[in-house]
Amino acid sequence: MTAENNQPLLSVRNLRIEFPTRRGTLVAVDDISFDIAPGEILGVVGESGAGKSLTGAAIIGLLEPPGRIAQGEILLEGRRIDDLPYEEIRRIRGRQIGAIFQDPLTSLNPLYSVSRQLTETIQTHLSMNERQARERALELLEEVGIPGASERIDHYPHQFSGGMRQRVVIALALCAEPRLIIADEPTTALDVSIQAQIISLLKRLCNDHGTAVMLVTHDMGVIAEAADRVAVMYSGRIAEIGPVQEVVRAAKHPYTHGLMGSIPHIGHHVDQLTQIEGSMPRLQEIPPGCPFNPRCEQVSERCYVERPNLQVAEKSEVACHLFDAPGLEVRAGD
Protein backbone atom coordinates (compact mmCIF):
# COMPACT_ATOMS: atom_id res chain seq x y z
CA MET A 1 0.00 0.00 0.00
CA THR A 2 2.62 2.44 -1.04
CA ALA A 3 0.61 3.95 -3.85
CA GLU A 4 -0.02 7.19 -1.97
CA ASN A 5 3.56 8.21 -1.33
CA ASN A 6 5.40 6.71 -4.31
CA GLN A 7 5.05 6.93 -8.03
CA PRO A 8 2.93 3.97 -9.15
CA LEU A 9 4.75 1.21 -11.02
CA LEU A 10 1.99 0.88 -13.55
CA SER A 11 -0.64 3.43 -14.29
CA VAL A 12 -3.56 2.81 -16.63
CA ARG A 13 -5.36 6.02 -17.59
CA ASN A 14 -8.78 6.10 -19.27
CA LEU A 15 -8.06 2.96 -21.23
CA ARG A 16 -10.59 2.11 -23.93
CA ILE A 17 -10.29 -1.02 -26.07
CA GLU A 18 -12.39 -1.38 -29.16
CA PHE A 19 -13.10 -4.10 -31.68
CA PRO A 20 -14.14 -2.68 -35.02
CA THR A 21 -16.59 -5.10 -36.65
CA ARG A 22 -18.76 -4.91 -39.73
CA ARG A 23 -21.79 -4.18 -37.56
CA GLY A 24 -20.13 -1.32 -35.75
CA THR A 25 -17.52 -0.86 -33.09
CA LEU A 26 -17.67 -2.98 -29.95
CA VAL A 27 -16.26 -1.40 -26.83
CA ALA A 28 -14.74 -4.18 -24.75
CA VAL A 29 -12.98 -2.01 -22.18
CA ASP A 30 -14.53 1.36 -21.55
CA ASP A 31 -12.57 4.13 -19.91
CA ILE A 32 -10.88 2.35 -17.03
CA SER A 33 -8.13 3.75 -14.83
CA PHE A 34 -6.13 2.13 -12.07
CA ASP A 35 -2.63 2.06 -10.59
CA ILE A 36 -0.40 -0.72 -9.37
CA ALA A 37 2.22 0.16 -6.77
CA PRO A 38 5.66 -1.49 -6.72
CA GLY A 39 5.39 -4.91 -5.08
CA GLU A 40 1.62 -4.77 -4.86
CA ILE A 41 -0.72 -7.58 -5.90
CA LEU A 42 -3.78 -6.18 -7.60
CA GLY A 43 -6.55 -8.70 -8.12
CA VAL A 44 -8.80 -8.11 -11.09
CA VAL A 45 -12.03 -10.03 -10.86
CA GLY A 46 -15.15 -10.28 -12.97
CA GLU A 47 -17.17 -12.57 -15.19
CA SER A 48 -15.94 -13.87 -18.53
CA GLY A 49 -16.05 -11.07 -21.05
CA ALA A 50 -15.78 -8.31 -18.46
CA GLY A 51 -12.56 -7.13 -20.10
CA LYS A 52 -10.03 -8.36 -17.51
CA SER A 53 -7.82 -10.36 -19.84
CA LEU A 54 -7.97 -7.74 -22.56
CA THR A 55 -6.72 -5.13 -20.10
CA GLY A 56 -3.80 -7.42 -19.25
CA ALA A 57 -3.05 -8.06 -22.92
CA ALA A 58 -3.18 -4.33 -23.68
CA ILE A 59 -0.62 -3.61 -20.95
CA ILE A 60 1.96 -5.93 -22.51
CA GLY A 61 1.07 -4.84 -26.02
CA LEU A 62 -0.37 -8.19 -27.05
CA LEU A 63 -3.91 -7.21 -27.98
CA GLU A 64 -4.87 -9.37 -30.90
CA PRO A 65 -6.08 -7.51 -33.97
CA PRO A 66 -8.62 -6.23 -34.74
CA GLY A 67 -8.72 -5.29 -31.04
CA ARG A 68 -7.03 -1.95 -30.45
CA ILE A 69 -6.45 0.69 -27.85
CA ALA A 70 -8.77 3.48 -28.93
CA GLN A 71 -8.10 5.88 -26.12
CA GLY A 72 -6.15 6.38 -22.95
CA GLU A 73 -2.61 5.61 -21.98
CA ILE A 74 -0.55 3.07 -20.09
CA LEU A 75 2.43 4.29 -18.09
CA LEU A 76 5.20 2.12 -16.70
CA GLU A 77 7.15 4.05 -14.04
CA GLY A 78 5.85 7.25 -15.57
CA ARG A 79 6.88 6.34 -19.11
CA ARG A 80 4.20 5.84 -21.69
CA ILE A 81 4.39 2.33 -23.18
CA ASP A 82 1.17 1.88 -25.15
CA ASP A 83 2.39 3.75 -28.21
CA LEU A 84 5.95 2.37 -28.38
CA PRO A 85 7.29 0.90 -31.61
CA TYR A 86 7.23 -2.90 -31.74
CA GLU A 87 10.91 -3.45 -30.98
CA GLU A 88 10.78 -1.31 -27.83
CA ILE A 89 7.68 -2.92 -26.38
CA ARG A 90 9.25 -6.29 -27.16
CA ARG A 91 12.21 -5.35 -24.97
CA ILE A 92 9.85 -4.44 -22.14
CA ARG A 93 8.01 -7.74 -22.38
CA GLY A 94 9.70 -10.32 -20.22
CA ARG A 95 12.27 -7.80 -19.00
CA GLN A 96 10.02 -5.37 -17.14
CA ILE A 97 6.58 -6.91 -17.48
CA GLY A 98 6.30 -10.68 -17.37
CA ALA A 99 3.20 -12.67 -18.11
CA ILE A 100 1.66 -15.97 -17.06
CA PHE A 101 -1.28 -17.43 -18.90
CA GLN A 102 -4.14 -19.64 -18.01
CA ASP A 103 -3.17 -23.01 -19.37
CA PRO A 104 0.26 -24.31 -18.38
CA LEU A 105 -0.32 -27.37 -20.58
CA THR A 106 -0.25 -25.26 -23.71
CA SER A 107 1.98 -22.36 -22.66
CA LEU A 108 5.21 -24.26 -23.27
CA ASN A 109 6.55 -25.21 -26.67
CA PRO A 110 6.27 -29.01 -26.77
CA LEU A 111 9.32 -29.44 -29.02
CA TYR A 112 11.93 -27.76 -26.81
CA SER A 113 13.32 -28.83 -23.49
CA VAL A 114 12.64 -26.71 -20.44
CA SER A 115 16.29 -25.67 -20.27
CA ARG A 116 16.30 -24.49 -23.86
CA GLN A 117 13.17 -22.38 -23.31
CA LEU A 118 14.58 -20.89 -20.11
CA THR A 119 18.05 -20.12 -21.46
CA GLU A 120 16.59 -18.66 -24.64
CA THR A 121 14.49 -16.24 -22.59
CA ILE A 122 17.34 -15.42 -20.22
CA GLN A 123 19.77 -14.75 -23.06
CA THR A 124 17.24 -12.59 -24.87
CA HIS A 125 17.15 -10.14 -21.97
CA LEU A 126 20.35 -10.54 -20.00
CA SER A 127 23.87 -10.64 -21.36
CA MET A 128 24.87 -14.10 -20.23
CA ASN A 129 26.71 -16.88 -21.98
CA GLU A 130 25.24 -20.35 -22.42
CA ARG A 131 26.70 -21.68 -19.16
CA GLN A 132 25.67 -18.73 -17.00
CA ALA A 133 22.19 -18.82 -18.49
CA ARG A 134 21.91 -22.50 -17.70
CA GLU A 135 23.00 -21.91 -14.13
CA ARG A 136 20.40 -19.20 -13.76
CA ALA A 137 17.77 -21.49 -15.31
CA LEU A 138 18.62 -24.14 -12.74
CA GLU A 139 18.38 -21.63 -9.87
CA LEU A 140 14.99 -20.51 -11.13
CA LEU A 141 13.68 -24.05 -11.34
CA GLU A 142 14.86 -24.69 -7.80
CA GLU A 143 13.27 -21.47 -6.65
CA VAL A 144 9.86 -22.38 -8.10
CA GLY A 145 10.09 -25.72 -6.31
CA ILE A 146 10.75 -28.30 -9.01
CA PRO A 147 12.10 -31.34 -7.17
CA GLY A 148 15.30 -32.72 -8.69
CA ALA A 149 15.67 -29.61 -10.82
CA SER A 150 19.17 -30.50 -11.99
CA GLU A 151 17.90 -33.70 -13.62
CA ARG A 152 14.60 -32.36 -14.81
CA ILE A 153 16.01 -29.25 -16.48
CA ASP A 154 16.61 -31.14 -19.74
CA HIS A 155 13.19 -32.73 -19.78
CA TYR A 156 10.47 -31.75 -22.20
CA PRO A 157 7.19 -30.12 -21.15
CA HIS A 158 5.17 -33.31 -21.68
CA GLN A 159 7.25 -34.99 -18.99
CA PHE A 160 5.91 -32.60 -16.34
CA SER A 161 2.51 -32.60 -14.63
CA GLY A 162 0.17 -29.62 -14.92
CA GLY A 163 1.19 -28.03 -11.64
CA MET A 164 4.89 -28.54 -12.40
CA ARG A 165 4.45 -27.00 -15.82
CA GLN A 166 2.83 -23.94 -14.27
CA ARG A 167 5.87 -23.67 -12.01
CA VAL A 168 8.07 -23.77 -15.10
CA VAL A 169 5.89 -21.07 -16.64
CA ILE A 170 6.37 -18.94 -13.53
CA ALA A 171 10.13 -19.50 -13.74
CA LEU A 172 9.99 -18.36 -17.37
CA ALA A 173 8.07 -15.23 -16.42
CA LEU A 174 10.63 -14.46 -13.71
CA CYS A 175 13.68 -15.07 -15.95
CA ALA A 176 14.73 -11.47 -16.27
CA GLU A 177 13.39 -10.23 -12.92
CA PRO A 178 10.49 -8.14 -14.25
CA ARG A 179 8.97 -5.48 -11.99
CA LEU A 180 5.43 -6.52 -12.84
CA ILE A 181 3.78 -9.82 -13.74
CA ILE A 182 0.45 -10.05 -15.50
CA ALA A 183 -1.01 -13.35 -14.31
CA ASP A 184 -4.05 -14.16 -16.39
CA GLU A 185 -6.09 -16.88 -14.66
CA PRO A 186 -2.89 -18.67 -13.59
CA THR A 187 -4.70 -21.42 -11.69
CA THR A 188 -7.97 -21.87 -13.54
CA ALA A 189 -6.78 -24.88 -15.52
CA LEU A 190 -5.27 -26.64 -12.50
CA ASP A 191 -6.62 -29.07 -9.93
CA VAL A 192 -8.10 -27.37 -6.89
CA SER A 193 -5.47 -28.94 -4.64
CA ILE A 194 -2.71 -27.47 -6.76
CA GLN A 195 -4.27 -24.04 -7.19
CA ALA A 196 -3.48 -23.01 -3.63
CA GLN A 197 0.16 -24.14 -3.97
CA ILE A 198 0.65 -22.13 -7.14
CA ILE A 199 -0.98 -19.03 -5.67
CA SER A 200 1.12 -19.17 -2.51
CA LEU A 201 4.25 -19.78 -4.61
CA LEU A 202 3.44 -16.78 -6.77
CA LYS A 203 2.78 -14.68 -3.71
CA ARG A 204 6.00 -15.74 -1.99
CA LEU A 205 8.18 -15.21 -5.08
CA CYS A 206 6.75 -11.78 -5.78
CA ASN A 207 7.23 -10.86 -2.16
CA ASP A 208 10.90 -12.04 -2.27
CA HIS A 209 11.65 -10.23 -5.52
CA GLY A 210 9.50 -7.17 -4.92
CA THR A 211 7.55 -7.95 -8.04
CA ALA A 212 4.09 -6.48 -8.47
CA VAL A 213 1.32 -8.68 -9.87
CA MET A 214 -1.84 -7.99 -11.75
CA LEU A 215 -3.75 -11.13 -10.89
CA VAL A 216 -6.63 -11.65 -13.29
CA THR A 217 -9.13 -14.25 -12.15
CA HIS A 218 -12.79 -14.97 -11.70
CA ASP A 219 -12.11 -16.79 -8.47
CA MET A 220 -12.86 -14.62 -5.43
CA GLY A 221 -11.15 -17.17 -3.23
CA VAL A 222 -7.85 -16.63 -5.05
CA ILE A 223 -8.26 -12.87 -4.71
CA ALA A 224 -9.00 -13.03 -1.00
CA GLU A 225 -5.98 -15.28 -0.52
CA ALA A 226 -3.41 -13.34 -2.50
CA ALA A 227 -4.35 -9.80 -3.41
CA ASP A 228 -3.61 -6.53 -1.62
CA ARG A 229 -6.18 -4.60 -3.57
CA VAL A 230 -8.94 -5.75 -5.86
CA ALA A 231 -10.66 -4.26 -8.89
CA VAL A 232 -14.08 -5.62 -9.79
CA MET A 233 -14.84 -5.34 -13.48
CA TYR A 234 -18.23 -5.46 -15.13
CA SER A 235 -18.98 -4.96 -18.82
CA GLY A 236 -15.62 -3.41 -19.55
CA ARG A 237 -15.75 -0.98 -16.64
CA ILE A 238 -14.44 -0.95 -13.11
CA ALA A 239 -17.39 -1.29 -10.74
CA GLU A 240 -15.39 -1.10 -7.57
CA ILE A 241 -11.74 -0.95 -6.58
CA GLY A 242 -10.23 -0.95 -3.13
CA PRO A 243 -8.28 -2.83 -0.46
CA VAL A 244 -9.15 -6.48 -0.54
CA GLN A 245 -10.53 -6.60 3.03
CA GLU A 246 -12.77 -3.67 2.35
CA VAL A 247 -14.15 -5.04 -0.89
CA VAL A 248 -14.63 -8.58 0.41
CA ARG A 249 -16.05 -7.70 3.82
CA ALA A 250 -17.87 -4.47 3.01
CA ALA A 251 -18.75 -4.60 -0.64
CA LYS A 252 -20.38 -1.40 -1.81
CA HIS A 253 -21.39 -1.86 -5.41
CA PRO A 254 -24.54 -4.00 -5.67
CA TYR A 255 -22.70 -6.20 -8.17
CA THR A 256 -19.79 -6.81 -5.80
CA HIS A 257 -22.37 -7.56 -3.15
CA GLY A 258 -23.88 -10.19 -5.37
CA LEU A 259 -20.45 -11.66 -6.14
CA MET A 260 -19.59 -11.97 -2.45
CA GLY A 261 -22.99 -13.45 -1.71
CA SER A 262 -22.37 -16.20 -4.21
CA ILE A 263 -19.30 -17.51 -2.37
CA PRO A 264 -20.07 -20.38 0.00
CA HIS A 265 -18.66 -19.92 3.51
CA ILE A 266 -17.58 -22.77 5.69
CA GLY A 267 -19.42 -22.70 8.98
CA HIS A 268 -22.37 -20.67 7.71
CA HIS A 269 -25.22 -22.94 6.84
CA VAL A 270 -27.30 -21.66 3.97
CA ASP A 271 -29.96 -23.52 2.05
CA GLN A 272 -29.24 -21.78 -1.17
CA LEU A 273 -26.37 -19.61 -2.36
CA THR A 274 -27.42 -16.18 -3.49
CA GLN A 275 -27.03 -15.54 -7.14
CA ILE A 276 -27.30 -12.48 -9.32
CA GLU A 277 -30.31 -12.71 -11.59
CA GLY A 278 -29.62 -12.57 -15.32
CA SER A 279 -26.23 -12.43 -16.96
CA MET A 280 -23.74 -9.82 -18.03
CA PRO A 281 -24.92 -8.09 -21.22
CA ARG A 282 -23.11 -8.91 -24.43
CA LEU A 283 -20.85 -6.23 -25.83
CA GLN A 284 -23.33 -5.09 -28.46
CA GLU A 285 -26.15 -4.93 -25.92
CA ILE A 286 -24.67 -2.87 -23.10
CA PRO A 287 -27.49 -0.60 -21.91
CA PRO A 288 -27.07 3.17 -21.52
CA GLY A 289 -26.36 4.50 -18.06
CA CYS A 290 -25.01 1.94 -15.61
CA PRO A 291 -24.34 -1.38 -17.41
CA PHE A 292 -25.52 -3.27 -14.35
CA ASN A 293 -28.98 -1.63 -14.33
CA PRO A 294 -30.96 -4.62 -15.74
CA ARG A 295 -29.78 -6.85 -12.89
CA CYS A 296 -29.51 -4.36 -10.05
CA GLU A 297 -31.94 -4.67 -7.15
CA GLN A 298 -31.43 -1.08 -6.07
CA VAL A 299 -31.81 0.52 -9.46
CA SER A 300 -33.19 4.05 -9.75
CA GLU A 301 -34.28 6.32 -12.62
CA ARG A 302 -30.84 7.85 -12.83
CA CYS A 303 -29.12 4.53 -13.49
CA TYR A 304 -30.87 4.23 -16.85
CA VAL A 305 -29.63 7.58 -18.17
CA GLU A 306 -26.41 8.56 -16.47
CA ARG A 307 -23.29 6.50 -16.30
CA PRO A 308 -21.82 6.41 -12.78
CA ASN A 309 -18.16 7.37 -12.41
CA LEU A 310 -15.71 5.97 -9.89
CA GLN A 311 -15.81 7.96 -6.69
CA VAL A 312 -14.34 7.58 -3.27
CA ALA A 313 -16.49 5.75 -0.77
CA GLU A 314 -14.71 5.10 2.50
CA LYS A 315 -11.46 3.28 1.64
CA SER A 316 -12.61 2.14 -1.79
CA GLU A 317 -13.74 3.72 -4.97
CA VAL A 318 -17.05 2.66 -6.43
CA ALA A 319 -18.97 3.44 -9.62
CA CYS A 320 -22.54 3.53 -8.41
CA HIS A 321 -25.12 6.29 -8.08
CA LEU A 322 -25.95 5.01 -4.60
CA PHE A 323 -22.72 6.61 -3.47
CA ASP A 324 -23.01 9.96 -5.22
CA ALA A 325 -22.03 12.59 -2.69
CA PRO A 326 -24.69 15.19 -3.57
CA GLY A 327 -27.35 12.58 -4.27
CA LEU A 328 -29.28 12.75 -1.01
CA GLU A 329 -31.09 9.44 -1.11
CA VAL A 330 -27.84 7.54 -0.52
CA ARG A 331 -28.12 4.25 1.21
CA ALA A 332 -24.60 3.51 2.24
CA GLY A 333 -23.76 -0.13 2.19
CA ASP A 334 -26.87 -1.50 3.85
Partner 1 sequence: MIAFLVRRLLQAIAVMAVVAFCAFFMFQFVGDPVNQMVAEDATEEDRQYLRESLGLNDPIPVQFAKFALNAAQGNYGISYQHKRPVAALILERMPATLELAITAAVIAALLGVPAGVYTGLRRFGFTSKLIMTLSLIGISLPTFLIGILLIYLFAVILGWLPSFGRGEVTHLGAWETNFLSISGIKSLILPAITLALFQMTFIMRLIRSEMLEVLRTDFIKFARARGLHNRAINYGHALKNTLVPVITIIGLQLGSLIAFAIITETVFQWPGMGQLFLQAVQVVDIPIMSAYLIMIAFFFVVINLIVDMLYYVVDPRLRIDQPGGGGGHG
| Binding residues vs partner 1 (CB under 8 A) | 60, 62, 90-95, 98-99, 101-103, 106-113, 120-121, 124-125, 146-148, 151-152, 155-156, 158-167, 169, 172-173, 175-176, 182, 190, 194, 197-198
Question: Closest separation between CB of residue 257 and partner 1, Å?
Answer: 35
CA-based angle 312:313:319, to the nearest 5? 70
Closest CA to 61 of 90, 94, 28: 90
Closest CA to 216 of 57, 77, 92, 80: 57
User: What do you get for the CA distance between the two ends of the chain, in Å?
Assistant: 27
Question: Closest separation between CB of residue 95 and partner 1, Å?
Answer: 6
125 versus 307: smaller Cβ distance to partner 1: 125
The CA distance from 314 to 325, in Å, is 12
Q: Which residues pair with 80 in a beta bridge?
A: 75
114 versus 244: smaller Cβ distance to partner 1: 114
12 versus 318: smaller Cβ distance to partner 1: 12
160 versus 255: smaller Cβ distance to partner 1: 160
The CA distance from 263 to 181, in Å, is 27
Question: Closest separation between CB of residue 11 and partner 1, Å?
Answer: 20
Question: Closest separation between CB of residue 219 and partner 1, Å?
Answer: 17
Residue 125 burial (CB < 10 Å; 0-12/13-18/19+)? middle
Question: Closest separation between CB of residue 136 and partner 1, Å?
Answer: 14
Q: In what order do the strands lie in the sheet with 97-100?
A: 97-100, 180-184, 212-217, 41-45, 229-234, 237-243, 316-318, 311-313
190 versus 230: smaller Cβ distance to partner 1: 190
